[in-house]
Chain A
Amino acid sequence: MFDVVAKILRYGAIIGLSIVIIGLIVENLTNQSTIAIIGLYSIISIPIISLLAISIQLLREREYLYSALSVLTIIVIITSILLSIMSK
């Protein structure tokens, strides 16, 4: 049922870390840190994407309250990101 969430967490961590490492190699060669930063963002997005998957699964199971709670958590995180960017 929640196997997708387990896969997102497992492979997401590996992919995110790989992007960071590739980014560091690119940074050494070209002085461009964009890929490494994308890697960092992909690592922090893993739990958030897994939360989205849980929310969809709970919606399918008609567990509206808990689906809403997971959406609420995502909203709190996104609001925080936007506020941090704006105050930068």
Chain B
Amino acid sequence: MEMLDFIALFAGALGVGFVSAIAGIGGGSLLVPFMVLLLGYDARVAIAASLLCVIITSSSAASEYIQKKMVDFKMALLLEPITTLGAIVGAHITLSLPTNYIEGVFGAMLLYVSITMLRKSLKETTAIHEEKNTSIDNILWKRKLAGLLVSFIAGLTSGMLGVGGGVLKVPILTLVMGVPIKVAVATSSFMIGLTAASGEVIYIVKGLTDPRIVAPLALGIIPGATLGARYLGKIKARYVRLVFSLLLLYASIRMLFSII
């Protein structure tokens, strides 16, 4: 690997970490298009590298949340076996699909994320419903079943596209399982690492994870996210979200066109 590639990956990851911390989205949805569209990496290699970065970032975040006793382990363990299965299936789907199809599916997911972000930044009325914490034993079996089903899809998305899947996990925990938002974010953060690890295993075994790509990305994304979190109060998150939702929208359209 050229020194220039190392610097480009490091600088890109620094920026991705910074922006994802401010915009409140996972690094994977920015890392993969950055690597595929700007640096010209194969989508599978980008997804494999992104998943490994997701493990590193979620491990440090989850460690903080566990110390603050914010993670609902029982809820995570109820949903994790099926999420893990989803991630493994997702990784195998990616390995069997042609690259342009993977980029197309990623583009569709990015379109969803960018529209959600755009709506959020235009409205900026994110009323957080602090629901009463529901005990896992009191949740109706129909809700548990729905939670398991959506968890499988979250795992599938993670393993297939190299993202954490928090965009699906937090809504499952809050809306379906009735977990308060802060506990949901903490629990989702813990689950993301496990889901990403189960998907990443497949990519490593198949030789798609390159340590020479992972190292600069991981070295960049950690300080980037720390800086982003520090500047969170100083920069208007609304404008950052607006600009990046438009950028993501552009990236999603470009990736969607790769199918044609």
Contact call A46/B59, Cβ cutoff below 8 A = yes
Contacts of A23 in B (CB 8 A): 211
Give me 14 other A-B pairs in contact (C-beta within 8 A), A13-B56, A84-B202 excluded.
A12-B59, A20-B215, A21-B219, A44-B52, A44-B204, A46-B59, A46-B197, A47-B194, A47-B196, A50-B193, A58-B73, A69-B77, A69-B80, A80-B88
In the bound complex, what is the Cα–Cα distance between A30 and B38 (angstroms)? 32
- Of A7, A27, A43, A81, which one neighbours B205 at CB under 8 angstroms? A81
Contact call B81/A9, Cβ cutoff below 8 A = no
Contacts of A9 in B (CB 8 A): 59-60, 62-63, 66, 193
Q: A48-B197, A72-B81 are in contact. Are A43 and B67 (CB under 8 A)?
A: no
- Of B81, B200, B218, which one neighbours A44 at CB under 8 angstroms? B200
Q: A2-B66, A6-B66, A9-B59 are in contact. Are A80 and B198 (CB under 8 A)?
A: yes
- Of A3, A6, A77, which one neighbours B197 at CB under 8 angstroms? A77
| Interface of B toward A, CB cutoff 8 Å | 52, 55-56, 59-60, 62-64, 66-67, 69, 71, 73-74, 77-78, 80-81, 84-85, 88, 193-194, 196-198, 200-202, 204-206, 209, 211-212, 214-215, 218-219
Contact call B211/A10, Cβ cutoff below 8 A = no
7 contacts between A and B (CB under 8 A): A2-B71, A9-B63, A13-B60, A16-B56, A24-B212, A46-B197, A84-B205
8 cross-chain pairs, A with B, having the tightest CB-CB distances, nearest first: A36-B211, A10-B63, A9-B63, A6-B66, A84-B205, A47-B193, A13-B59, A9-B59
Contacts of A13 in B (CB 8 A): 55-56, 59-60
Name the residue among A46, A47, A51, A80 with the largest chain B CB count within 10 angstroms.
A47
Task: List which A53-78 residues lie within 8 A (CB) of chain B.
Answer: 54, 58, 63, 66, 69-70, 72-73, 76-77
Contacts of A39 in B (CB 8 A): 211
In the bound complex, what is the Cα–Cα distance between A16 and B56 (angstroms)? 9
Contact call A77/B201, Cβ cutoff below 8 A = yes
Contact call B81/A76, Cβ cutoff below 8 A = yes
Contacts of B211 in A (CB 8 A): 20, 23-24, 27, 33, 36-37, 39-40
Q: A5-B66, A6-B63, A47-B197 are in contact. Are A85 and B205 (CB under 8 A)?
A: yes
A33 to chain B: closest residue by CB: B211
Contacts of B197 in A (CB 8 A): 44-48, 77
Contact call A6/B88, Cβ cutoff below 8 A = no
Name the residue among A6, A17, A21, A27 with the largest chain B CB count within 10 angstroms.
A6
Q: A6-B67, A69-B81 are in contact. Are A24 and B215 (CB under 8 A)?
A: yes
Q: A6-B67, A44-B204, A84-B206 are in contact. Are A20 and B59 (CB under 8 A)?
A: no
A44 to chain B: closest residue by CB: B197
Contact call B62/A17, Cβ cutoff below 8 A = no
A12 to chain B, nearest CB (A): 6
In the bound complex, what is the Cα–Cα distance between A80 and B77 (angstroms)? 18
Contact call B66/A21, Cβ cutoff below 8 A = no
Contact call A43/B60, Cβ cutoff below 8 A = no
Contacts of A7 in B (CB 8 A): 63
Contact call B215/A17, Cβ cutoff below 8 A = yes
B200 to chain A: closest residue by CB: A44
